[in-house]
Amino acid sequence: MAKLWEKNTTVNKAVETFTVGRDREMDLYLAKYDVLGSMAHITMLETIGLLSSEEVKILLKALKEVYQSANAGTFIIEEGVEDVHSQVESMLTEKLGDIGKKIHSGRSRNDQVLLDLKLFTRDRVQQIVEQVSTLIDLLIEQSNEYQQVLMPGYTHLQIAMPSSFGLWFGAYAESLTDDLQVLLSAYKVCNRNPLGSAAGYGSSFPLNRQMTTDLLGFDSMNYNAVYAQMGRGKMERTVAFALAGIAATLSKLSFDACLFNSQNFGFIRLPDEFTTGSSIMPHKKNPDVFELSRAKCNKIQSIPHQITLISNNLPSGYFRDLQIIKEIFLPAFDELSDCIHMISLMVRSIKVNESILDDEKYALIFSVEEVNRLVLEGLPFRDAYKQVGLAIEAQKFVPNKQIAHTHAGSIGNLCNESIVRLKQDIVALFHFEKVEKALENLLASI
């Protein structure tokens, strides 16, 4: 099949195979978003006289059928077709004749793929936000459930001070809340319309870029046509850094869970059906989900660096190097989504050991409590510290295990309600409802 750019020369087969690479595979992620972009674009073309109202009506009907196919997962990019843009235009031309050839006026595949990537990313960010929000609620629920259950806190992997499962679960809830704040900033970078920048230098057609911005529910457009093209790679890197932040939190949680589940710690236990066994050791109950989540999340943390290495020495303008970023970036959302889903299942199923501190090896974590008690009785802190330290060295220290921490963020005052409110405020700022309403109207405009 002829390429959109092909004239009288047939490209060398080896060159074609090498340059297309995995684009056809990756473009399946973008299919329905490419259709949405085309629907908005041709709606705008009618207003500037490049398409008649009858032509737009026919095209929109056909495009909606393609959209439904892509949304259902039945859309394919045929053998010999270079990319999703070519496939959609080919389908329209085959069905509608010359009308189908008109949809590319005022566009380049450069701004098409920019748009597709932003629409895809915007949609998948919403999915991640919803999953993370649910996980935060689950962690807060577990924090409240086990707020009275004490556990040792550690520094340098040495027992340090009393902590609690309320603090432990709640810490990860607040960490993910901060991760959502970073993702919100990345989303704002993503949610700007590049359509109309064409190959990076605009068009001689009087395109109404504000119209397509509104039709697709963007916050604004990328105003400068050159910058719109420069945003390729930058947007993906920015969003990937935000995804990496979530992944880092999940990786740390997974490591804690693996450690705490081991017999040497015995702080938590996973139900048997959430563990796997050994082919040789019949007693093994391995926390493989947490281990694989840790590995996958560490892999996700490498993605922004890979994107940086591909794009950081490119001057302004489009280069084919950027194509490779899709192979790294697009699958990352599914992988992170799977990790969030599985970790949520595990967190909900964790069984907590409620008598950890009965073991005498944890007695010394109460030393600071004793120092503080002496200070409250009037002894200078440094003298109290020395007195307790000498008692420990003489093996005469007797811990008082009654904990009364009341300040904000401590064992007795978790501030969980404040964490939930903060999370809710951040999620509200994404304004997903604006995007949903715009796309609903666009799909209904037939």
| pLDDT tens, the chain, 446 aa long | 555 545 556 666 777 667 666 777 788 899 999 999 999 999 999 999 999 999 999 999 999 999 999 999 999 998 888 889 999 999 999 999 999 999 999 999 999 999 999 999 999 999 999 999 999 999 999 999 999 999 999 999 999 999 999 999 999 999 999 999 999 999 999 999 999 999 999 999 999 999 999 999 999 999 999 999 999 999 999 999 999 999 999 999 999 999 999 999 999 998 888 778 877 888 888 888 999 999 999 999 999 999 999 999 889 988 888 989 999 999 999 999 999 999 999 999 999 999 999 999 999 999 999 999 999 999 999 999 999 999 999 999 999 998 889 999 999 999 999 999 999 999 999 999 999 999 999 999 76
Q: How many residues does the chain have?
A: 446
- For the chain, domains (ranges, CATH) are 13-102 (1.10.275.10), 109-152+162-357+415-443 (1.20.200.10), 359-411 (no CATH)
CB 193 within 8 A of CB 221: yes
* Residue 41, pLDDT score: 97
Cβ neighbours of residue 393 closer than 8 Å, sequence gap 6 or more: none
CB 214 within 8 A of CB 202: no
* Residue 5, pLDDT score: 44
* Residue 387, pLDDT score: 95
* Residue 185, pLDDT score: 98
Phi, psi of 410 (to 5 degrees): -100, 180
Cα dihedral sign for 152, 153, 157, 159? Answer: negative
Q: Which residue in the block uniquely carries the two structure tokens 């390729």?
A: 232
Cα angle 105, 108, 114; round to 5: 130
CB 245 within 8 A of CB 172: no
* Residue 276, pLDDT score: 84
Tokens of 334: 């599914």
Q: Which residue in the block uniquely carries the two structure tokens 């932040």?
A: 245
Residue 54's Cβ-count burial label (10 Å; 0-12, 13-18, 19+) is exposed
Q: Which residue in the block uniquely carries the two structure tokens 């809710």?
A: 424
Query: What stretch of H or E contains 261?
Result: helix 234-261
Give the chain's largest Cα–Cα span.
94
